[in-house]
């Protein structure tokens, strides 16, 4: 109904007391002011001014509009400032979802750098495993999700999501330090067929069972947990071994646990996923760039 330019001109006419005074203040010609006020009156459907001699007086509609005009202009100015801050990366919010091992490694590194260079950009972090984390982006519950896929499994990624590959994460086997295989630099999965195993999240477990099946054995899975600290504690006590992502090696807390790479190497793809239109949002693009940098620092994990 309203053109903000007309509201600004109307407010100045009321403040200055005449079309000519408002024209001088705004740098317009008087006919331009007159045309804008006529257009505004057509929009509201009623006169806003009446002339009393040489003076202009507000009608009842004009008085009502003037009561709101100052607030409208203040809100517009505030919105302009906020939009400028967001596009200039002095402000903004990004909702990110990450799986645990990325949340403990890539995310802190990326956000620490972001906090120094762009302290006004706020990142809110949720934790979820794929495919639930991908669904959250597709449903608008978060702006960026970090997820992983395995080459040997058929992965269902929502069509509306854009994948930004970050890194390949080499899988490792967590062994008790005193285990015979712990003395090797790398181990073969088939050599561990008789071990008791600890399995992780649904997607990791599915890949683990798939790789074992490819080698012709079904592993004895004695424990199932998504908690990486629980996995380490079970391994440390000699209750089982686990196939885990290489990112976990960054935060091994048990001296009694050793990580060894698989031979031949087995990897998962770690990527960020966003809705296509979010790629044009400055704060989202900035967080993605910081995640790329953090992932590049870990190539070879």
Report the CATH number that the domain containing residue 58 is assigned in CATH: 1.10.10.10
- Using an 8 Å Cβ cutoff, are 269 and 151 in contact? yes
Structure tokens at 92: 């903004």
What residues are paired with 98 via a beta bridge?
127
Question: What tens digit of pLDDT does each residue of 62-89 get?
Answer: 888 888 888 887 777 666 666 665 565 5
Measured distance CA(299)–CA(169) in Å, rounded? 8
- Using an 8 Å Cβ cutoff, are 156 and 127 in contact? no
Residues 217 and 245 occupy one common structural domain = yes
pLDDT at 301: 42
For residue 164, name the pLDDT band (cuts at 50, 70, 90).
very high
More reliable by pLDDT, 71 or 174: 174
Residues 125 and 273 occupy one common structural domain = yes
pLDDT at 300: 46
> Which domain, by its residues, includes 256?
168-266
pLDDT at 272 over 90: yes
pLDDT at 82: 62
How many alpha carbons fall within 13 Å on the CB side of residue 148? 29
> Is 74 a member of any domain?
no
The CATH number that applies at residue 210 is 3.40.190.290
- Using an 8 Å Cβ cutoff, are 296 and 288 in contact? no
> Is 205 a member of any domain?
yes
> Is 300 a member of any domain?
no
Question: What tens digit of pLDDT does each residue of 115-133 get?
Answer: 998 888 889 999 999 989 9
- Burial class for 174, CB neighbours closer than 10 Å (0-12, 13-18, 19+): buried
Residues 284 and 241 occupy one common structural domain = no
Residues 173 and 150 occupy one common structural domain = no
Last residue of a domain, one of 34, 69, 104: 69
Residues 203 and 259 occupy one common structural domain = yes
Measured distance CA(159)–CA(146) in Å, rounded? 16
The rounded percent of the chain whose pLDDT value lies above 70 is: 94
Determine if the pTM surpasses 0.85: no
pLDDT at 149 over 80: yes
Residues 160 and 91 occupy one common structural domain = yes
pLDDT at 158: 83
Residues 16 and 144 occupy one common structural domain = no
pLDDT at 137 over 80: yes
Count of structural domains within the chain: 3
pLDDT at 51: 81
> Is 94 a member of any domain?
yes
Q: CB under 8 Å to 93, separation ≥6 — which residues?
A: 121, 122, 123, 124, 283
Residues 158 and 274 occupy one common structural domain = yes
> Is 207 a member of any domain?
yes
pLDDT at 280: 83
> Is 301 a member of any domain?
no
Residues 34 and 99 occupy one common structural domain = no
Last residue of a domain, one of 69, 92, 116: 69
pLDDT at 145 over 60: yes
Q: Across all residues in the chain, what is the average pLDDT?
A: 88
Residues 146 and 282 occupy one common structural domain = yes
> Is 75 a member of any domain?
no
pLDDT at 205: 92
Question: What tens digit of pLDDT does each residue of 8-65 get?
Answer: 899 889 988 888 898 988 888 989 999 999 999 998 889 998 887 777 889 989 888 8
> Is 174 a member of any domain?
yes
For residue 90, name the pLDDT band (cuts at 50, 70, 90).
low
For residue 270, name the pLDDT band (cuts at 50, 70, 90).
very high
pLDDT at 143 over 70: yes
Residues 225 and 276 occupy one common structural domain = no
Question: What tens digit of pLDDT does each residue of 176-223 get?
Answer: 999 999 999 999 999 999 999 999 888 899 999 999 999 999 999 999
Residues 109 and 158 occupy one common structural domain = yes
């Amino acid at each position: 109904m309203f053109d903000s330019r007309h509201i600004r001109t109307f407010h100045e006419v009321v403040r200055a007391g005449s079309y000519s005074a408002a024209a001088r203040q705004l740098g317009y010609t008087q006919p331009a002011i007159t045309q804008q006020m006529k257009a505004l009156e057509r929009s509201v459907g009623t006169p806003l001014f009446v002339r009393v001699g040489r003076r202009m007086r507000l009608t009842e509609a004009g008085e009502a509009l003037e009561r709101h005009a100052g607030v409208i202009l203040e809100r517009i100015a505030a919105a302009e400032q906020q939009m400028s801050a967001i596009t200039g990366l002095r402000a903004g919010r990004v909702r990110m979802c990450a799986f645990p091992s990325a949340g403990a490694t890539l995310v802190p590194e990326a956000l620490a750098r972001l906090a120094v260079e762009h302290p006004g950009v706020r990142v809110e972090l949720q934790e979820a495993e794929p495919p639930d984390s991908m669904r959250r982006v597709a449903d608008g519950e978060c702006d960026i999700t970090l997820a992983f896929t395995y080459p040997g499994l058929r992965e269902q990624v929502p069509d509306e999501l854009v994948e930004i590959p970050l890194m390949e994460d080499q899988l490792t086997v967590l062994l008790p330090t005193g285990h015979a295989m712990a003395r090797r630099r790398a181990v073969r999965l088939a050599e561990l067929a008789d071990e008791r195993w600890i399995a992780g999240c649904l997607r990791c477990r599915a890949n683990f069972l798939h790789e074992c099946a490819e080698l012709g054995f079904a592993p004895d899975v004695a424990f199932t947990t998504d908690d990486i600290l629980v996995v380490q504690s079970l391994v440390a006590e000699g209750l089982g071994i686990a196939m885990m992502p290489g990112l976990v090696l960054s935060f091994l807390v048990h001296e009694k646990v050793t990580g060894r790479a698989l031979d031949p190497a087995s990897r998962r793809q770690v990527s960020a996923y966003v809705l296509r239109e979010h790629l044009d949002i400055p704060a989202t693009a900035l967080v993605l760039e910081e995640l790329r940098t953090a992932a590049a620092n870990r190539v070879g994990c």
